[in-house]
Amino acid sequence: MNTTIDRLRLLLVKDYKLDPAALVPDAPLEALGIDSLGVAELMFNIEDEFKVTIPGDPVALKTVGDVVAYIDDLIATQQAGDAAGNVAALRAAPGQ
Amino acid sequence: MTRVAVTGIGVVSPLGNSADDVLARACAGRSAIHRLDAPFSRRLAGPLVASAQFDGTEHFDPPRLRMLDRVSQFACFAARQALAESQIDLTQADRRRIGVFLGTGMGGSQSSDDGYRSLYEDGSDRVKPFTVLMGMHNAPAAWIGIEHDLRGPNYTYSTACSSSAVAIGEASARIARGDLDLALAGGAEAPLTFGSLKAWEALHTLATIDAGDASASCKPFALDRSGMVLGEGSAMILLEAWERAVARGATILGEIAGYGFANDAGHITRPSVEGQAAAIEAALIAADIDPLAIDAINAHGTGTQANDGVETGAIKAVFGPRAARIPISATKAMHGHLLGAAGALECVLSLLAMQRRVALPTMHLQVPDPECDLDYVPNRVRECSAARTMISNSFAFGGANAVLVLRAAP
């Protein structure tokens, strides 16, 4: 299974035609041509790719590594949330 | 008042993406109108369009391209061409005195269409973050300003089908007054979406497909005309104060000699002889010339029942018996109706035709209409060395009539 950075690389190569070799964790997003507005759009695409929901609160993401950490954090929190939700749903369903 | 020189021309259009290509194809009478082959074509009564062969990936970096609706791509590319041809050195210019004046009727309609599709058809609750920025009408002009660091007035005009004639007219007035040194002026339109094609279809203004030749479906001033065909593209010209252009040794391609506007204040769609004639007269007054000085006309000539008869009447009202001896070209038969970009493309075609000393043909005019009884240069380009001063008509829904007076380069 691909790691988060692998999947993010694929997304950035496909949508932004970036050189995969340049997509190292320390690479600043601005230098890749992704400014704050571009980050807003990237978040939209990340929601599709990683099946997560980006909260409305703004976060400062400066580098590729920041984005990877942010995605991992969202996945961890939201999968934990889903699991809790499923358990609650099962408990609430009568006769199951 | 300063004379207004045209020192650069840029174009993206169904007839080609350079001034040379566009003129060659127009002279050859080769229509770019074709059947639309799209997944939604079967849901259109008459799937006809005039599309531009244009691939944005060849002209913009991916991060920028992701923010540009097709309409902005057209406008930026046309503006680049105009600046390149003018050979202007912008580093020597006062950027606060360079304006951008752009007309568009529908703005970023593809982005709006995409947003609606994801909400209403796909049932998504999410719309792409750039939807507003790509859809807003002033995006094309804004991107031109950003791309070339132009800090003067950056205006977008939306008067439906006369938008870009208004933009060129308003820009030329500011140069003539000395408010600006330079202006990129013109229009852009990219309306070939399912949503906008259906909306135009519902107005019963679109042409039915010619059974023998789809490319001949738009027939301005012909008895068997059935309507217009939507086209897409952009035309941008660089306007420059005359003395400034001469001083820097620029090649002058023509002159915007006058601009007139008259509002019908009548019906929202039905054109009026009085309104159109008033706009022509206003343009002649602005240019300070007699009607006798007009050698040729680029007609609005949409190929709709309503326009062509009324426009014929307006030309007769202004020019009297001499109207029958003025060559009138309706080039929409070849490039379709570019809506907000139409006036700019036709301004460019008129300047190029005068340069080449021809009157461009009104194609597909095989069956004359007794009501349209002027000289429309039917079906074949004509040598016209006497044509040094023209008017270009642009009339619009809403009653917004705009006319440019154009003069050939000296």
* Segment 39-68 of chain B within 8 Å of chain A by CB: 61-64, 66-67
Decide if B134 contacts B69 (C-beta within 8 A).
yes
Q: How many residues does chain A have?
A: 96
Cβ A47–B66 below 8 Å, yes or no? no
Q: Could you give the CA distance from residue B337 to residue B16 in angstroms, rounded to a whole number?
A: 15
Identify the structural domains of chain B with CATH numbers, from first to last.
4-254 (3.40.47.10), 260-399 (3.40.47.10)
Cβ B126–A38 below 8 Å, yes or no? no
Cβ A38–B63 below 8 Å, yes or no? yes
Number of folded domains that form chain A:
1
| Segment (H or E) for B47 | none
- Chain A residues with CB inside 8 Å of B118's CB? none
Cβ A44–B67 below 8 Å, yes or no? no
Answer whether residue A94 shows pLDDT above 60: no
Q: What residue numbers bound the domain in which A41 lies? A: 4-92
Quote the DSSP letter at residue B394: E
Annotated catalytic, B300? yes
pLDDT of chain B, 410 residues: tens digit per residue: 899 999 999 999 999 999 999 999 999 999 999 999 999 999 999 999 999 999 999 999 988 999 999 999 999 999 999 999 999 999 989 999 999 999 999 999 999 999 999 999 999 999 999 999 999 999 999 999 999 999 999 999 999 999 999 999 999 999 999 999 999 999 999 999 999 999 999 999 999 999 999 999 999 999 999 999 999 999 999 999 999 999 999 999 999 999 999 999 999 999 999 999 999 999 999 999 999 999 999 999 999 999 999 999 999 999 999 999 999 999 999 999 999 999 999 999 999 999 999 999 999 999 999 999 999 999 999 999 999 999 999 999 999 999 999 999 98
ipTM of predicted complex: 0.75
Min Cα–Cα distance to chain B from A55, Å: 13
Residues of A designated as active site? 35
With CA atoms as reference, report the closest residue to B406 among B257, B240, B291: B257
Task: Give the residue from B128, B134, B143, B146 with the most A CB atoms within 10 Å of its CB, the best one to mutate.
Answer: B128
pLDDT, tens only, B176-190: 999 999 999 999 999
- Chain A residues with CB inside 8 Å of B63's CB? 16, 32-34, 38
CB-based contacts of B247, cutoff 8 Å, min separation 6: none
CB atoms within 10 A of CB A1: 4
Alpha-helix residue ranges (DSSP H) falling in B125-208: 131-135, 139-148, 163-177, 194-202
CB-based contacts of B55, cutoff 8 Å, min separation 6: none
For helices A64-92 and A4-16, angle between their N-to-C axes, nearest 10 degrees: 120
Task: Give the residue from A11, A13, A17, A42 with the most B CB atoms within 10 Å of its CB, the best one to mutate.
Answer: A17
Secondary structure of residue B152 in the 3-state scheme: coil
Beta bridge partners of B49: B34
Give the count of alpha carbons within 13 A of B233, CB side only.
32
Chain B residue closest in CA terms to A19: B62
Chain A: residues touching B (Cβ < 8 Å): 15-18, 32-34, 37-38, 40-41, 43-44, 47
Cβ B66–A16 below 8 Å, yes or no? yes
- If you compute the radius of gyration of chain B from its CA atoms, what whole number of angstroms results? 20
pLDDT, tens only, B9-48: 999 999 999 999 999 999 999 999 999 999 999 999 999 9
With CA atoms as reference, report the closest residue to B283 among B273, B294, B295: B294
Cβ B128–A34 below 8 Å, yes or no? no
Cβ A44–B66 below 8 Å, yes or no? no
Instruction: Report residue B85 as tokens.
Output: 């041809």
For the domain that residue A76 is a member of, what is the CATH number? 1.10.1200.10
- Chain B residues with CB inside 8 Å of A37's CB? 67, 129-130, 133
Pick the catalytic residue: B76, B218, B335, B337?
Answer: B337
Cβ B63–A44 below 8 Å, yes or no? no
Instruction: Report residue B112 as tokens.
Output: 């709006």
With CA atoms as reference, report the closest residue to B21 among B286, B322, B357, B334: B334
